[in-house]
Structure 1
Amino acid sequence: MGSKQEGDRKPHAICIALPFQSHIKALLKFAKLLHFKGFHITFVNTEFNHKRFLKSLGPNSLDGLPDFVFETIPDGLPPCDDDDDGDATQDIASLCESVRTNFLRPFLNKLTSCSPPVTCIVSDGFMSFTITAAEELGIPVALFFSIAACGFMGVKQYSVLKEKGLFPLKDDRLLNNVIDWIPGMKDIRLKDLPSFFRGANPSDVTMFNFLREAVDRAHKATAVVIQTFDALERDVLEAISSTIPHCYAIGPLQLLLDRIPNSHQGINVGYSLWKEDSECLQWLQTKPPNSVVYVNFGSTTVMTPQQLVEFGFGLANSNQPFLWIIRPDLVIGESAVLPAELADQIKEKDRLMDQMGSRQEGDHKPHAVCIALPIQSHIKALLKFAKLLHFKGFHITFVNTEFNHKRFLKSLGPNSLDGLPDFVFETIPDGLPPCDDDDDGDATQDIASLCESVRTNFLRPFLNKLTSCSPPVTCIVSDGFMSFTITAAEELGIPVALFYSIAACGFMGVKQYSALKEKGLSPLKDNRLLNNVIDWIPGMKDIRLKDLPSFFRGANPLEVTMFNFAREAADRAHKATAVVIQTFDALERDVLEAISSTIPHSYAIGPLQLLLDHIPEDHPGINLGYSLWKEDSECLQWLQTKPPNSVVYVNFGSTTVMTPQQLVEFGFGLANSNQPFLWIIRPDLVIGESAVLPAELADQIKEKELPADMDSKKGEVADNKTHHVLCIPTPTQSHIKAMLKLAKLLHSRGFHITFVNTEYNHKRFLKSLGPDSLHGLPDFRFETIPDGLPPSDADATQDVVPLIEAIMEKMLAPFCDLVKRLNDMTRTCNDSPPSVTRIVSDGFMPFTIAAGRELGIPVVFFYTIPACSFMGFKELDIIIDWIPGMKDMHVRDMPSFCWSGSTIDHFVLNSCIEATEKAHQASAIIIHTFKALEQDVLDAISSMFPQVFVIGPLQLLLNRIPEHPLKLKYSLWKEESECLQWLNTKPKGSVLYVNFGSIAIMSPEQVAEFGYGIANSKHPFLWIIRPDLVVGETAVLPLEFAAETKGRGLIGSWCPQEEVLNHPSIGGFLTHSGWNSTVESLSSGVPLLCCPFGGDQPTNCRFCCKEWGIGMEMDKEALKREEVEKLVKELMEGEKGKEMRKNVMEWKRLAHEATEPNGSSSIDLDNLVSHLVS
């Protein structure tokens, strides 16, 4: 229907639906999917429906996009003068007759006038004139049926029914007869077929002939699409496919649309010819899950007034809530109006039953005034609950005390409580003396005084607030311990829900306070009674007195005050309209059942944050903070430097106080545990003084948690940005890409990063990514050093031998100068970065060892090759069968520099040997792999080096961190992302991806052999041919190659490889076996056709093919097009390819497992971070 090669225009599909609401909606969804797949779309409506869309959706609703436009044709029917009739479904029989007789000519005119030229038609299956149009213009046509496959097969029987004398039906008693001639449809009765064959009226006859003609011509279409899915109608679809081979089941369409990324610039036009009333969604939010019957008879059904009334009374008498959509033209010949007595009955039956403010259509939102006990934890919980109510359609007024309102403004910012039009903040006084000391203004008030004031001073100002609110208050949602709100609710005659931010068991414990007093257990006279088990509390077994909320003990005046305050509140709870407890059923089922037996309207709602997590982030008000203290989020960065599940979190809440002695005991206990910890110490935690740890304890914490992870007061992070890591890759594309990924991971863990490129590659980055691409961040900077080679403006990989010579002989001095300059800046400039504390160097940049020794900075080597290749380089002087972890190795399996006789290879070999020998002088080495993939080799390497960190695949680790603020990509060439749109047009697993990396070069003859072999395989392909791929000339394929592969091949110069490999259309990868490409393919679950060119690639190939079972080997030295064709076919469609695909999916799973929070690579990354800061 419209695949294309690079340079061709987009395929242009003209879409035309049967001009009814449901058919337009379905085809418009399908058109959106085609647009996402890269099609230019022209969507044709009738002039009548075009006007209806503008009336329903707005005057600019069909402006479209440059590549998604709306056009019209006339429908051939008389114009409608009555405005009311202009918003109704047209007469179906007349419209269908007009489709048959009047649509072809204007549609042909539209087709021939479109620009760009139309390449295909996508037509409603019942608009069969489009087949004639397609034949006349010589373009393909796809018929789209918005009915079920069984409905389509039913209509296909119309000709048979006519032949058998069953049209028109002469005896309705035949309707229950079972018919057995329809393929794929068993036990079908005549009455189950689409009804027009009955011929009961002229309209039926017209529709019978119209539909029969359409389906009888369906086989002439290029393709038939039915909106269904295989699992739903498999037998029928198989029967249809036997007569219409190019038949596709595509649906449900909305679920496919839901998978289109939000970033896609799609068309946002709605689907409805009537103006939609979305207020019903707010009403539905007030109803319990699965409680509402939805009633809708579609866009064309009509009924009599009597039928309307029967449905109405039946719904009303069911006593079920219902939402009934009654179109203006639902009733034949008159308005769809329910009798007054039925409307009253519906109103009575379906009046709002959730007592907290549900509403009938036309009423205002329910308005809830929320007031929390003025303590941090209670405010936080009730504010979360208020957000949930707001999301459910409530207008919210949230009442704080004036004291806490000021604290919020101080903590969250002066505009933090501006709220929304329907979520506002108000204040009442707390009745306590004002606080003159600013420090005391940021502390929890005296609890006993505050609770006593709640009992005696809050009612009157709260009543004043309730009566002055606009809109009028319809309910109160109050903290359960603010029992004066029950009095306020009774006085104003409105419902009140009590919200308890404590556990159900805590609530039940407080409810025992009156019983404890009656039994003489409050105040407690003998603490030895605390271990006594009590058996009278419903739903709570084996409870001791000491397990109850402690105020009953009456050990001091505070406890006496709190006992009386809490007891009074709990004893009045049954008077509330409802009680809400922040818990969930599975956690406290027995207690909740006991509470429900005395308080029927009690609800367990929690955990609140998990409920809030289900609300879209863009919902107004969802991001308001909860804290009365200013939160210090730097601790999160410190936590990122710690291994999973390794840190003890210590926090005693917002009201607990302790003595200085208790603070010290906790401190020494934590320090002596030798566990990392994050300790939150409020300014007012210690009674009567500041919470300051003794100097010797602060020193011990600092020593134990070296480098200083805690300060002496709050246990905050000693910011890792005091640690400055300088990263330098080997100056080639694949090494830069891997190092830049590692640098981003370290930056996400809090390190300051300086990334060093050569001046040549720095210019290439700017050319590829844009002039501002390397501006970096304040704590992620880019620097350059010269490479010592003659200047060049080329956009190509530099010659390997001179580049290696420059690395070995010319880069040390400028690199040392750069590090010295950075460290001098630290000493002389206030806003400069910290001194360089670690060098992370590519393992093949061995001069950094000498630099580190000269500058006194430890060096870590990072190898962007697999462990097996590292071991190959490491053990070149050992007899081949002695290499640990590598069995049955042949000389040809070793890195190619070993067995080639060329001077170049010997030079590269010597440089690699020197680099791997220097690895022993590094403080650690990092290898980009994962343990499950190369366990034996890694075990052998670990026995040779004291610090080996196995970290990979890097991209999977990066995928697990929040979006990195540095948006920089990794490519030295400009990436052509258009190939992704082309891939969108290809079936799943159908495309061969071909890319020989950033360094490999080949002869024109090799390019031709690859090209013809790929072309002869007949598989779609995406081939990346770098401008410098061919030795000494441009890589141009013959013209006949382009002609042979037109429509199924796309050639580009560079692409976003990881996005390509993760695209569902990719079925295989023809690769040079570079390690980055191998890891990226494995991580994406794509099998390989390996054609190694040199370096570590033969070793990678060997392990892919023989050890991991994910590849097949291709010998470039004996390259013939026939062999290429054979291997491509085996990869894409053969049994070997299926086996490799299964294996690579298992390795993909293990790669993802390694990068999970407790996976081997994540743990090694944590260990590396600890090493870098040690």
Structure 2
Amino acid sequence: MGSRQEGDRKPHAICIALPFQSHIKALLKFAKLLHFKGFHITFVNTEFNHKRFLKSLGPNSLDGLPDFVFETIPDGLPPCDDDDDGDATQDITSLCESVRTNFLRPFLNKLTSCSPPVTCIVSDGFMSFTITAAEELGIPVALFFSIAACGFMGVKQYSVLKEKGLFPLKDDRLLNNVIDWIPGMKDIRLKDLPSFFRGANPSDVTMFNFLREAVDRAHKATAVVIQTFDALERDVLEAISSTIPHCYAIGPLQLLLDRIPNSHQGINVGYSLWKEDSECLQWLQTKPPNSVVYVNFGSTTVMTPQQLVEFGFGLANSNQPFLWIIRPDLVIGESAVLPAELADQIKEKDRLMDQMGSRQEGDHKPHAICIALPIQSHIKALLKFAKLLHFKGFHITFVNTEFNHKRFLKSLGPNSLDGLPDFVFETIPDGLPPCDDDDDGDATQDIASLCESVRTNCLRPFLNKLTSCSPPVTCIVSDGFMSFTITAAEELGIPVALFFSIAACGFMGVKQYSALKEKGLSPLKDDRLLNNVIDWIPGMKDIRLKDLPSFFRGANPLEVTMFNFAREAADRAHKATAVVIQTFDALERDVLEAISSTIPHSYAIGPLQLLLDHIPEDHPGINVGYSLWKEDSECLQWLQTKPPNSVVYVNFGSTTVMTPQQLVEFGFGLANSNQPFLWIIRPDLVVGESAVLPAELADQIKEKELPADMDSKKGEVADNKTHHVLCIPTPTQSHIKAMLKLAKLLHSRGFHITFVNTEYNHKRFLKSLGPDSLHGLPDFRFETIPDGLPPSDADATQDVVPLIEAIMEKMLAPFCDLVKRLNDMTRTCNDSPPSVTRIVSDGFMPFTIAAGRELGIPVVFFYTIPACSFMGFKELDIIIDWIPGMKDMHVRDMPSFCWSGSTIDHFVLNSCIEATEKAHQASAIIIHTFKALEQDVLDAISSMFPQVFVIGPLQLLLNRIPEHPLKLKYSLWKEESECLQWLNTKPKGSVLYVNFGSIAIMSPEQVAEFGYGIANSKHPFLWIIRPDLVVGETAVLPLEFAAETKGRGLIGSWCPQEEVLNHPSIGGFLTHSGWNSTVESLSSGVPLLCCPFGGDQPTNCRFCCKEWGIGMEMDKEALKREEVEKLVKELMEGEKGKEMRKNVMEWKRLAHEATEPNGSSSIDLDNLVSHLVS
């Protein structure tokens, strides 16, 4: 259409709608889209409606643009002398009859007088005279039907109905007869067809003939456009296309218009013939999400006074808030006036609900306090989420432990956590002994100790932090495993959203912990049960026990601690106002649906980075990194040298540890794969020692030098400045990272953020990021609380058991003190932030529940594990057929603390149980996943908890935020970015990336087996070996390893992982299956080689390999270099690897889709924001 123009003239479309409100609105939207596509537009209204537009929108409203002009033609009806009558819909029958008989000639006159010459007609499908006009002038005509395809097909049956003697209908009893002769429409009754065929009155007869003539002539048009979309009405559209080949389904129109850039010089005219009353929007702002019934019968429907009264009393008696639009001409022949007694009954319905954010006054933005489990991956995820909240208008207070705060400053720089005025970092102690050794301060703390400390020590300092925040905290966004935040929220009477940075399947796996314990499967007494398939987990099929988060096994005290810790968090998740899981709907749909069935307010929001990527670059968001380790970006340069999809990325996360033997086996396996690889080896990756590869292995891969990961994006500020969110992660790298992302997201939404780290992690951040890295922004500040552990300056993950003990026993008081101090500042300092209005706590920081209760601040739990792992912790207790959303699970598929027999596992298990149980007390739960990924588990979680927000992947959400002045990364270790230059030299998809995260440790033997396996694969690799990766010693690879891999391998201590994973040279990722690593790899389209070490990692591994088809499982307990080599080769070059690569690209698409402006995670983020400010 428009082919008649010459030279570079734009096509000129004349648009004419059926002169009714709904038809004009739809065609005007379509005209705007055509204008955006380069058309000159002349939009024709009747003179009557043109006057109505000017009365409704203003005298200059239709002045238009040089290439978008409005014209009029008469409608052929008698003029209306009364101004009031001129603001009502004209008699439909008379108007349609006039369209048929009076419109053609004035329309032709308008067509021939237009300048520039009209090249095509875009006409309402029921203005069929335009076909005659187009034939006379020899120009194309497109008919635009603003009705559904099924409505169009229904009208197309009018001629058939007449032939069959069904018009006019002689017996109303025929209306329920099913008719089977309409293509594409099954089980249709006569009563379901457009009603005019009944011929009950002269109006019906007129409309029947009018509509039948229009649809019967539609095939003569150049094209037919129907305002619908293919997935909604596929069968009907295919049937229509069989008779009208040039038929196009285009809609919903508003969603298409929403994608037009703001920079486009489009027309800004409204659509309404009536004066719109926008005050209802302010009234709606006072109502909780999804609480109001909207009632509107459109622009042409009329009813009797009796019908009006029946509707009114029915609505009033429902006791639901409602917004009812009553047109002046809604009632036949008279004004639409409600009886006095009904008006009185309705009058009191404008009532406020006590939801998140209800305590703030005036126009202050919501203040979310975000607290992540003080582990790298959790901090990273929650920090991304916090960035998204900041973009949505939240004031963010992001709480790290003091230990991790120091790590951030060390990693990112001394000013890295300076924050923004409305995104600040705070700290609380983690309750663990301080670390005096600088080196030890840059490692993940002992997980069991840290989680236990979270349970016991973090509530009080978190409450202190909550009450001291300024502005006052209006909500808590907590790591889902920081379940003390539920207590904090209850004490303070503020909402709490739990953010789980794990997958929905991981969350659901953790939710099984209590059930496993009841069934005698925790601690696990016989490892042969691990392969048993359990079929009682909703949304999770073919699950083995071994696939569940591993702590239920109770093999050691660590697992016991983690089991109890995770179970408590998952079991309490339903108490949160909302639960957010960092995932997306398409990835975990079944699990997410299962979670939602028990936690209704569960939201899949992720991948977070994809959401962050959508934040406009001009948004003044926080630009803080996520890494507790110093990131080495050189690996990105290295990746640039590699061919696309050639590099295996290996990273076991921030907490996985392995033996030196495992490190070596991985190393040789990577080296022997002959694939380029990027292996992230944390300094604390090896149990009890530095992660050092044997000299021969180091020589084998000498040319494959590498570093490690973290990244940041920025946000856009919404009008939520009086809301102050205090965020507190579990004090481990992954939890801090996730929570910091969440805090950035909240900050991008306009929230004031206080981010609370433990003092230990705060120091690690400063060491990693630089002394100024945590200066933050005026509205994004960092605070610290002690972790309750002995002082330490180590740059390693703290011991898990003492840390958990400290969380459980020692963090509450300093946390409460921090919140009180922040809130006191609000009252005493004019330029201080608003009071803390929410605590966003890591779901495994359960003391925040007590803090929230004490301080009267709602707590939101944020779980940085997937929904399946959360559910695994939640439902812990032999054939596992009882976990909602998780089908066919084995004991071994559960979080490892459930089935491990160790004292440590028992301890961790109990802390997990406590944390998940406390989730029920949070005002909301956030899980770092997305709905498509874990739908079943999320549905099950949502059925257990009132508010579950599924928000992830966080980084994808953050990627949508524009550049932010706070340039903070997420790593507690110093990142080595040199690996990026090395990657630049590798072909696409050629490099294997190896990284076992921030907590995993291994033996020297394991390091050697990995090393030789990698080396023997002959693939290039980038291997991140943390200094603390090997148990009790430095992770050193054999000398022959370096010789064997010279030129194709790079080894680093930490790297910017998301940049690495997004590098085109990365072809695979050998990982510990930590959730942050999993979701980041999925978001980047990189397939996985999964070697779970513990915690929720077995569950994540199982879902990656069995449900999502993006990974292959490697058993670390039977680790041999030959197996490493074989699996690396299959990953990088085999058919299975190709299949996984195809699958992961689809999940990547779905992850990005989830974080699109209208994606499930973006919607859940918006819903979370609404919860936090309502």
TM-score, length-scaled by structure 2: 0.44
Count of residues paired in the alignment: 1174
Describe the shift of the 1:103–1:931 C-alpha distance in structure 2 as closer, same or farther (beyond 3 A): closer
Moved more, 236-245 or 220-229: 236-245
**In the TM superposition, what is the alpha-carbon distance from 1:487 to its structure 2 partner?**
3.4
The 3-state SS of whatever aligns with 1:703 is: coil
**In the TM superposition, what is the alpha-carbon distance from 1:24 to its structure 2 partner?**
1.6
Determine the structure 2 residue equivalent to 1:878. 878
* In 1: Cα distance, 2:920 partner to 2:599 partner: 73
Describe the shift of the 1:1164–1:683 C-alpha distance in structure 2 as closer, same or farther (beyond 3 A): same
Determine the structure 2 residue equivalent to 1:48. 48
Determine the structure 1 residue equivalent to 2:526. 526
1:644-689 CA distance string (max 9 Å, x none): 8875544343245679898778756765676644222335557899
Q: In proportion to residue count, which structure has more strand? A: 2
Describe the shift of the 1:401–1:200 C-alpha distance in structure 2 as closer, same or farther (beyond 3 A): same
Describe the shift of the 1:137–1:359 C-alpha distance in structure 2 as closer, same or farther (beyond 3 A): farther
Moved more, 1146-1155 or 495-504: 1146-1155
1:239-272 CA distance string (max 9 Å, x none): 9999999999998878999999999987786655
* In 2: Cα distance, 1:1105 partner to 1:1018 partner: 24
Q: Quick check: 1:282–1:392 contact (8 Å CA) kept in 2?
A: no
**In the TM superposition, what is the alpha-carbon distance from 1:301 to its structure 2 partner?**
1.2
Describe the shift of the 1:331–1:562 C-alpha distance in structure 2 as closer, same or farther (beyond 3 A): same
* In 2: Cα distance, 1:306 partner to 1:802 partner: 71
Describe the shift of the 1:354–1:604 C-alpha distance in structure 2 as closer, same or farther (beyond 3 A): farther
The 3-state SS of whatever aligns with 2:397 is: strand
Moved more, 1034-1043 or 43-52: 1034-1043
1:800-857 CA distance string (max 9 Å, x none): 9999999999999999999999999999999999999999999999999999999999
Q: Quick check: 2:292–2:323 contact (8 Å CA) kept in 1?
A: yes
**In the TM superposition, what is the alpha-carbon distance from 1:22 to its structure 2 partner?**
2.1
**In the TM superposition, what is the alpha-carbon distance from 1:788 to its structure 2 partner?**
80
* In 1: Cα distance, 2:1043 partner to 2:95 partner: 46
Determine the structure 2 residue equivalent to 1:942. 942
Describe the shift of the 1:1039–1:136 C-alpha distance in structure 2 as closer, same or farther (beyond 3 A): farther
Moved more, 982-991 or 131-140: 982-991
1:189-241 CA distance string (max 9 Å, x none): 99888667888889779878977998999999999877789999999999999
**In the TM superposition, what is the alpha-carbon distance from 1:40 to its structure 2 partner?**
3.5
* In 2: Cα distance, 1:903 partner to 1:107 partner: 86
The 3-state SS of whatever aligns with 1:781 is: strand
**In the TM superposition, what is the alpha-carbon distance from 1:371 to its structure 2 partner?**
1.6
* In 1: Cα distance, 2:473 partner to 2:849 partner: 74
Q: Quick check: 1:691–1:713 contact (8 Å CA) kept in 2?
A: no
Moved more, 1102-1111 or 241-250: 1102-1111
**How do residues 383-532 of structure 1 correspond to structure 2 at under 5 angstroms?**
383=383, 398-401=398-401, 404-405=404-405, 408=408, 427-428=427-428, 443-444=443-444, 454=454, 458-467=458-467, 475-494=475-494, 496=496
**In the TM superposition, what is the alpha-carbon distance from 1:379 to its structure 2 partner?**
1.6
Q: Quick check: 1:701–1:710 contact (8 Å CA) kept in 2?
A: no
Q: Quick check: 2:646–2:990 contact (8 Å CA) kept in 1?
A: no
Determine the structure 2 residue equivalent to 1:658. 658
Describe the shift of the 1:117–1:1100 C-alpha distance in structure 2 as closer, same or farther (beyond 3 A): farther
**In the TM superposition, what is the alpha-carbon distance from 1:942 to its structure 2 partner?**
59
The 3-state SS of whatever aligns with 1:81 is: coil
**In the TM superposition, what is the alpha-carbon distance from 1:372 to its structure 2 partner?**
1.6
* In 2: Cα distance, 1:681 partner to 1:16 partner: 66
**In the TM superposition, what is the alpha-carbon distance from 1:68 to its structure 2 partner?**
3.8
Moved more, 425-434 or 831-840: 831-840
**In the TM superposition, what is the alpha-carbon distance from 1:306 to its structure 2 partner?**
3.4
The 3-state SS of whatever aligns with 1:364 is: coil
Asked which structure has the greater RCO (Cα within 8 Å, sep 6+), the reply is 2
Q: Quick check: 2:660–2:686 contact (8 Å CA) kept in 1?
A: yes
1:358-403 CA distance string (max 9 Å, x none): 9999999987543222221222344456678889998865433466
Structure 1 unmatched runs, 5+: none
* In 1: Cα distance, 2:51 partner to 2:304 partner: 28
Moved more, 977-986 or 408-417: 977-986
The 3-state SS of whatever aligns with 2:929 is: coil
The 3-state SS of whatever aligns with 2:62 is: coil
Structure 2 residue 97 is matched with structure 1 residue 97: yes
**In the TM superposition, what is the alpha-carbon distance from 1:862 to its structure 2 partner?**
54
* In 2: Cα distance, 1:635 partner to 1:606 partner: 26
Report which of the two structures shows the higher radius of gyration computed on alpha carbons: 1
* In 2: Cα distance, 1:900 partner to 1:518 partner: 15
Moved more, 849-858 or 385-394: 849-858
Moved more, 11-20 or 962-971: 962-971
* In 2: Cα distance, 1:686 partner to 1:1149 partner: 35
Q: Quick check: 1:146–1:226 contact (8 Å CA) kept in 2?
A: yes
Q: Quick check: 1:650–1:677 contact (8 Å CA) kept in 2?
A: yes
**In the TM superposition, what is the alpha-carbon distance from 1:994 to its structure 2 partner?**
52
Determine the structure 2 residue equivalent to 1:1150. 1150
Structure 2 residue 972 is matched with structure 1 residue 998: no
**In the TM superposition, what is the alpha-carbon distance from 1:476 to its structure 2 partner?**
3.5
Q: Quick check: 1:44–1:73 contact (8 Å CA) kept in 2?
A: yes
The 3-state SS of whatever aligns with 2:969 is: coil
**In the TM superposition, what is the alpha-carbon distance from 1:28 to its structure 2 partner?**
3.4
Moved more, 406-415 or 1156-1165: 1156-1165
Describe the shift of the 1:892–1:76 C-alpha distance in structure 2 as closer, same or farther (beyond 3 A): same
**In the TM superposition, what is the alpha-carbon distance from 1:1163 to its structure 2 partner?**
40
**In the TM superposition, what is the alpha-carbon distance from 1:115 to its structure 2 partner?**
1.4
1:502-554 CA distance string (max 9 Å, x none): 68999999999999999999999999999999999999999999999999999
* In 2: Cα distance, 1:6 partner to 1:229 partner: 33
Describe the shift of the 1:1171–1:1008 C-alpha distance in structure 2 as closer, same or farther (beyond 3 A): same
**In the TM superposition, what is the alpha-carbon distance from 1:304 to its structure 2 partner?**
3.5
Structure 2 unmatched runs, 5+: none
**In the TM superposition, what is the alpha-carbon distance from 1:1096 to its structure 2 partner?**
60
* In 2: Cα distance, 1:881 partner to 1:536 partner: 2
Moved more, 739-748 or 28-37: 739-748
Describe the shift of the 1:234–1:336 C-alpha distance in structure 2 as closer, same or farther (beyond 3 A): same
* In 1: Cα distance, 2:601 partner to 2:858 partner: 67
Determine the structure 1 residue equivalent to 2:637. 637
* In 1: Cα distance, 2:999 partner to 2:1075 partner: 12
Describe the shift of the 1:667–1:825 C-alpha distance in structure 2 as closer, same or farther (beyond 3 A): farther
The 3-state SS of whatever aligns with 1:71 is: strand
The 3-state SS of whatever aligns with 1:628 is: strand
Describe the shift of the 1:131–1:939 C-alpha distance in structure 2 as closer, same or farther (beyond 3 A): closer
The 3-state SS of whatever aligns with 1:692 is: strand
The 3-state SS of whatever aligns with 2:441 is: helix
* In 2: Cα distance, 1:519 partner to 1:1121 partner: 37
The 3-state SS of whatever aligns with 1:1079 is: helix
Moved more, 717-726 or 281-290: 717-726
* In 2: Cα distance, 1:1005 partner to 1:1033 partner: 12
* In 2: Cα distance, 1:523 partner to 1:803 partner: 21
Describe the shift of the 1:497–1:811 C-alpha distance in structure 2 as closer, same or farther (beyond 3 A): closer
* In 2: Cα distance, 1:738 partner to 1:814 partner: 22
Q: Quick check: 2:50–2:72 contact (8 Å CA) kept in 1?
A: yes
* In 1: Cα distance, 2:320 partner to 2:124 partner: 38
**In the TM superposition, what is the alpha-carbon distance from 1:17 to its structure 2 partner?**
1.7
Q: Quick check: 1:896–1:1094 contact (8 Å CA) kept in 2?
A: yes
Describe the shift of the 1:329–1:677 C-alpha distance in structure 2 as closer, same or farther (beyond 3 A): same
* In 2: Cα distance, 1:1030 partner to 1:566 partner: 25
1:78-114 CA distance string (max 9 Å, x none): 9999998787545546756776898678656644542
Determine the structure 1 residue equivalent to 2:1012. 1012
**In the TM superposition, what is the alpha-carbon distance from 1:116 to its structure 2 partner?**
1.2
Q: Quick check: 1:3–1:982 contact (8 Å CA) kept in 2?
A: no
Moved more, 762-771 or 40-49: 762-771
The 3-state SS of whatever aligns with 1:499 is: strand
* In 2: Cα distance, 1:921 partner to 1:1095 partner: 23
The 3-state SS of whatever aligns with 2:1028 is: coil
Q: Quick check: 1:843–1:915 contact (8 Å CA) kept in 2?
A: yes
Describe the shift of the 1:463–1:559 C-alpha distance in structure 2 as closer, same or farther (beyond 3 A): same
1:287-339 CA distance string (max 9 Å, x none): 99999998653322122343244345657888999987655654457776878
Q: Quick check: 2:383–2:740 contact (8 Å CA) kept in 1?
A: no
Describe the shift of the 1:530–1:162 C-alpha distance in structure 2 as closer, same or farther (beyond 3 A): closer
**In the TM superposition, what is the alpha-carbon distance from 1:21 to its structure 2 partner?**
1.9
Moved more, 988-997 or 799-808: 799-808
Identity of counterpart residues, as a percentage? Answer: 99
Describe the shift of the 1:181–1:1128 C-alpha distance in structure 2 as closer, same or farther (beyond 3 A): farther
The 3-state SS of whatever aligns with 1:970 is: strand
